[in-house]
Amino acid sequence: MVKIGCSSLFFWEYTIEEIVDIFLELGLKNMEFFPENPEFWKKRNDLDYINSIKSEISKIDITIHAPYIELNPSSTNENIRCVTLMETFWAMDLSKKFNAKLITIHAGKRPTNRIPTAEEYTNFDDYLEKSINYALKNEITLCLENSPKKINNICYSVESMKKTLDNFKSLYMTLDIAHARENSLEFIKNLHEKIKNMHISGVNSKDHYPLSESKINFDETLNLLVNNYNYNGALNFEFNDLIYEKTLSKHEKMDILANEINYLEKIIE
């Protein structure tokens, strides 16, 4: 049975304890934990804080998203590649501490707005090989998220993702349907055996709108995966609060999320 969850970043301004309480109150079964939540990021080297958070997070199932802001595993700058790998290893260590069995990473990209060259792909393959080995050593499922369609991004197409997954048999996939857009069905038809995690949101003027406000209908996509291919992983909402014209209160965010939970449940019932 699927576990409906949400990204911790939607409630980025609150403490981790508050976010856990919100999710439990709404009946969510999973949290996609982003360690780049501001409060956590500033205290991530404080062992007492980490232990206190561990007891809170143990109240809900979690998947973890490796740090990605300002990072790039395909960068031409070897220092950025090194830090990206270090942060990925750190996120996997955190997964072990928090008893999370699955972690999501981002694909690489060419730093400039041009088509990736062989150099970017070589850098990315090196990152994947080292990350997969570390994940296997720690018994963690490593999932690569499909990128938004941009000229300099790696793994935004079905073909590119399939090639990468074929080359790395121990690598799995986090499917972000808002990134996939009209190709979400093709991702599922071709790669459903590799999909272990999901990011759920709609597409309007930008990505990561509520699913109920999406200009692209993802009903068939979600039904196919859950009811035809028997997907039983997490369905994590991933919303961007910057799409709203005002700052949302906690209760407004909770109302949005509650509405989306009901909307999703009707789609996959």
CB-count exposure of residue 69 (10 Å: 0-12, 13-18, 19+)? exposed
CA 197 to chain centroid: 8
Inter-CA distances, 234 with 6, 108, 196, 226, 231, Å = 9, 24, 8, 11, 9
Dist. CA 198–CA 34, nearest whole Å: 15
Dist. CA 154–CA 106, nearest whole Å: 9
pLDDT in the model for residue 45: 94
Pairing, β 234-237 against β 3-7: parallel
Are 239 and 209 in contact, with CB atoms under 8 Å apart? yes
Q: pLDDT grade, residue 105 (50/70/90)? A: very high
pLDDT in the model for residue 251: 97
On the question of pLDDT at 205 being above 80, the answer is: no
pLDDT in the model for residue 206: 79
The mean pLDDT of 33-59, rounded to a whole number, is 95
In the chain, what are the domain boundaries? 3-268
Helix axis angle, 250-268 to 16-25, nearest 10°:
40
pLDDT in the model for residue 107: 96
Q: Read off φ and ψ for residue 132, nearest 5 degrees.
A: -65, -45
pLDDT in the model for residue 160: 97
Dist. CA 166–CA 76, nearest whole Å: 25
pLDDT in the model for residue 207: 86
Enumerate the β-bridge partners of residue 84: none
Side-chain-side CA neighbours of 24 within 13 Å: the count stands at: 12
Tokens encoding 185: 């069905």
User: pLDDT digit string (tens) for 214-247?
Assistant: 999 999 999 999 999 999 999 999 999 999 989 9
User: pLDDT digit string (tens) for 55-77?
Assistant: 999 999 999 999 999 999 999 99
Other residues' Cβ atoms within 10 Å of the Cβ of residue 107 = 23
pLDDT in the model for residue 238: 96
Residue with tokens 């799995």: 172
The mean pLDDT of 102-114, rounded to a whole number, is 96
pTM value? 0.96
Percent of the chain with pLDDT over 90: 97
Dist. CA 75–CA 41, nearest whole Å: 23
CB-count exposure of residue 126 (10 Å: 0-12, 13-18, 19+)? middle
The mean pLDDT of 126-146, rounded to a whole number, is 98
- Strand, helix or coil at 196? strand
pLDDT in the model for residue 12: 96
Which positions ≥6 away from 134 have C-beta within 8 Å?
A: 88, 89, 92
Other residues' Cβ atoms within 10 Å of the Cβ of residue 177 = 28
pLDDT in the model for residue 120: 97
pLDDT in the model for residue 167: 97
Q: pLDDT grade, residue 269 (50/70/90)? A: confident
On the question of pLDDT at 1 being above 90, the answer is: no
Q: Mean pLDDT over all residues of the chain?
A: 96
CA 158 to chain centroid: 17
Dist. CA 45–CA 53, nearest whole Å: 12
Q: pLDDT grade, residue 44 (50/70/90)? A: very high
Rounded to 5°, angle at Cα 78 from 75 and 84: 65
The structural architecture, per CATH, of the domain 3-268 is Alpha-Beta Barrel (3.20)
